[in-house]
Amino acid sequence: MTQLEISGLELFGHHGALEEERRYGRKFLFDIRLELGDQASRSDRLEDTVDYRELVTLVKSVSEGRQYTLLEALARAMAEAVLRQFPVVEQVHVRVRKVGAQLGAPVEFTAASIDLGG
């Protein structure tokens, strides 16, 4: 099994349960881990794996495509889009982190994660 990762992909988004979050937006960090078969590591061919640039483009597209109320729903939409677009992916792990959440006490971030695939 081969794993690919992108960690800390920073995007500005308009997601959240509060109207203020959706109106003004904030920074989100995306951590994506893909599990693939071993074909790419054996063949050394880009077409046998996932191009990181295409993955970043997809993450941007999903994040900018609509406003999500819950991080959980955004993470699921991201994972489902990865599985649809990249057939070589057997399993995907997505973590979405919201930086600067207002919770009445300082926190570095809040997050939701999901694992999808076979």
Whether 60 is a known active-site residue: answer no
Burial classification of residue 1, based on how many CB atoms lie within 10 Å of its CB (0-12 exposed, 13-18 middle, 19 or more buried) = exposed
Catalytic residue among 15, 95, 97, 98: 98
Q: Which ranges in 12-87 belong to alpha helices (H)?
A: 19-24, 39-43, 52-65, 71-85
In the block, tokens 């996932």 appear at 50
Sign of torsion over alpha carbons 38, 41, 45, 50: positive
- CA atoms of 23 and 34, how far apart (whole Å): 32
Catalytically annotated residues: 98
